[in-house]
Chains A and B, each alone.
Chain A
Amino acid sequence: MTVWVEVDLCSGCKRCVRACPYGAIEMKEGKAQVLERCTSCGACLQVCKEKALQTDVKPREIPDFSDRKGVWVFAEQREGRLNKVSLELLGKAQELGAALSQSVSALLLGDRVADLAPTLAEYGAETIYLVEHKALKDFRTTAYTKAIEDLVKKYKPNILLMGATHVGRDLAPRVSRRVEVGLTADCTELTIDPTEGILLQTRPAFGGNVMATIANRYSRPQMATVRPGVMEAVRKPGAKGQVIRHDVSLMESEIGTKVLEVVREKKKKANLSEAKVIVAGGRGVGDAAGFKILEELAAALGGELAGTRVAVEEGWITADRQVGQTGQSVRPELYIACGISGAIQHRAGMMNSRYIVAVNKDPRAPIFQVADWGIVGDLRDVVPEMIETMKNK
């Protein structure tokens, strides 16, 4: 299995170099050259207008999935409370369902959780597959996997989405292996390809420096986990859903795990995902005292304080307030970035904010490229002025 270049045909246009997802094509003396790390993926073949790239790889046959219908969302609940990400996913599922003319369903698993079904309906689930069993009271991977495996085999969905939470990231890969399908982790964007009708799953890779779009052509359901806080919940007041109960047989001896104790750690945690306004600071804030002033601004706006990785590493804010690739993704109405240069890792976590204000003394700071409004100036002048103005609003 190899890909090679017919040197005489190559026009040196470099399209293949740009198309290669693996950086495996280089230009040498004006001609494309395939490097050792080529995986024969074929991305270059499609873009070459001269047909100079050739391969002995046979195209893989795509099975017929025309009987696979419906967009499913795993409704994550713990102790009878729904995780917000599940409602966000139902919002996205409505959009995907409309594009495919297919219905939206939620999977609700647990012990006596039927009363959550109306909420799921109100956020877009036309059907709620309900599985109630004592063994499903606590989240346990193998028990939940068995129940979902049953449902998938019986109802043959086209798409299955889960939140990229501690539960979703434990469960989704197990389910995907069980029902023999591909899975894309931690997506930030989902769309339907208009020609092929498949789910295009986009996610950050390499620490947010690269976005990759991934397709799952060879298996169904197309599965993805989705980062919390990225999609938008869409409420349809008064919407009703049909509840379909499914009985699962679960033997305690086959589950393999027992939850002995659940301990909630009661620290005052920042709730950035719910915040309407976030005031965030970075290296330019300079010290903890600077963050005190940002906190005042946040308070004046009824918002939350956040910061970059540097701010956490310097000890100016706690880790639960970190926004970015290794912190949280947020989407407030208003994000005010103070003294943040705008490294890609940070931008990845806040780019979905509705409006962004940037204050920085360096007019060339990349944060200005993602801002709706920018003020070049010293934080020590601008922020107190903002607090004053906001207090008098």
Chain B
Amino acid sequence: MKIIVLVKQVPNTTEVKLDPKTGNLIREGIESIINPDDRHALEAAVRLKETAKAKVTVLSMGPPQAIDAVSEAMGMGADEGILLTDRAFAGADTWATSSTLGKAIETIGAFDLILCGRQAIDGDTAQIGPQVADYLKVPQVTYVIAIEEIKEKSIVVKRRLEDGFERVECDLPALLTVIGEMNTPRYPLVSRLIDACREKAPIKIWNAADIGVQTREVGLEGSLTHVIKTFAPKLQRQTEMIQGDAKTAVAALAGKLREKKLL
């Protein structure tokens, strides 16, 4: 069984702040990590490797330093890695990104299963999985929490719903997006990590030409949506501070709430 895992390197966003003076993102000193949901996809793939004799290829797109994410995935047990990196890919929306990943997967060749995280914590779009699936014309199941059975031509999975779950049988080849509930990812093995950083490690670096795309089809130029403005959320209100001890303040507050018919 041939499995491709899509992985994104992301900044650890809970730490991202805006510079109060310039309004820009402060990126310096922020650690880069493998996107958390993608780590669960990797774990699922490596487990299949152990139970169903799968070969696992990890595919990532990003700046040259995203090689670290690919190496780490190799450390967790992926057999080969591919990093798509080219200045032409920069500034891509999900349309252009899914075209790029789709082309790269076509370049890799036949597969049985594509696994990816539901969403990346820097964009939170959850769009790449379904868009890649449509590009490749394979069925998809999102929010997967368990792989129950692999048959010859299909796979049975559990999909999380807001108020429960459903069991879905999906024809192969297919694309699944997984969520954190699915498993506990393993730590990379140091010996494997060292191997992944060697010169002859099975990691390929591909640019736009390697996957046969024109620069106008990818990156910012190939995008259909564009960010036209970014700003710090304005959440302020005219706040009235109510003074006095607890009893006085609460009585005053109750008066205000009654005025607005909230009580």
Contact = CB atoms under 8 A, between A and B. Distances in A.
Interface of A: 1, 14, 17-18, 20-23, 37, 39-41, 43, 60, 138, 141-142, 145, 165-166, 169-174, 176-178, 181-186, 200-201, 204-219, 255-265, 269, 277, 333-334, 344-345, 347-348, 351, 355-358, 363, 368-378, 381-382, 385-386, 389-390, 393
A178 to B, nearest CB: 6
B14, B90, B233, B251 pick with most chain A CB within 10 angstroms: B233
Contacts of B161: 166, 262
B31 interface: no
B231 A257 contact: no
Interface of B: 11, 13-14, 16-18, 22-25, 27, 90-91, 93-95, 98, 121-131, 133-135, 138-143, 156, 160-171, 174, 215, 219-221, 223-233, 235-242, 245-247, 249-251, 253-254, 256-258, 260, 262-263
Task: Describe A's contact surface by its main secondary structure.
Answer: mixed
A257 B236 contact: no
A210 B231 contact: yes
A186 B124 contact: yes
Nearest to B253: A373
Given A370-B237, A373-B253, A389-B251, A212 B130 contact: no
Given A174-B134, A206-B16, A256-B174, A347 B126 contact: no
A371 B237 contact: yes
A376 B232 contact: no
A17 B171 contact: no
A106 B241 CA distance: 45
Given A177-B130, A259-B167, A375-B250, 11 more contacts: A141-B141, A171-B130, A173-B131, A183-B95, A210-B233, A215-B225, A257-B170, A261-B166, A264-B163, A363-B241, A386-B253
Given A209-B17, A390-B263, A185 B126 contact: yes
B226 A214 contact: yes
Nearest to B11: A206
B262 to A, nearest CB: 5
A218 to B, nearest CB: 5
A185 B125 contact: yes
A174 B140 contact: yes
Contact of B229 (A212, A262, A333): A212
A23 B25 contact: yes
22 contacts: A1-B221, A21-B227, A39-B219, A39-B220, A43-B227, A166-B161, A172-B130, A173-B130, A174-B131, A185-B124, A210-B25, A210-B233, A213-B230, A215-B228, A256-B174, A261-B167, A351-B235, A357-B253, A370-B237, A371-B239, A373-B242, A375-B253
A234 B22 CA distance: 39
Contact of B240 (A186, A262, A374): A374
A241 to B, nearest CB: 27
Contacts of A215: 225-226, 228
Contact of B239 (A173, A258, A368): A368
A332 to B, nearest CB: 10
A142 B139 contact: yes
| Chain B interface, >50% SS class | mixed
A256 B225 contact: no
Given A170-B140, A264-B163, A385-B250, A182 B130 contact: no
Contacts of A177: 95, 98, 130-131, 134-135
A23 B27 contact: yes
A141 B137 CA distance: 12
Contacts of A217: 226
A305 B222 CA distance: 46
A256 B242 contact: no
Contacts of A269: 163
Contacts of B238: 372
Contact of A178 (B134, B140, B164, B249): B134
Contact of B127 (A165, A185, A219): A185
User: Which of the listed residues B143, B235, B237, B256 has the most CB atoms from chain A within 10 Å of its own CB?
Assistant: B235
Contact of A356 (B22, B164, B237, B241): B237
Given A1-B221, A141-B130, A177-B135, A211 B169 contact: no
A207 B121 contact: yes
Contacts of A375: 241-242, 249-250, 253
Contacts of A43: 227-228
Given A39-B219, A177-B130, A178-B134, A141 B139 contact: yes
Nearest to B24: A23
Given A256-B171, A265-B164, A213 B227 contact: yes
Contacts of B124: 185-186, 204-205
Given A186-B124, A263-B166, A374 B13 contact: no
Contacts of A1: 215, 221
B123 A255 contact: no
B226 A369 contact: no
Nearest to B142: A170
Given A182-B225, A393-B254, A344 B246 contact: no
Nearest to B240: A373
A256 B138 contact: yes
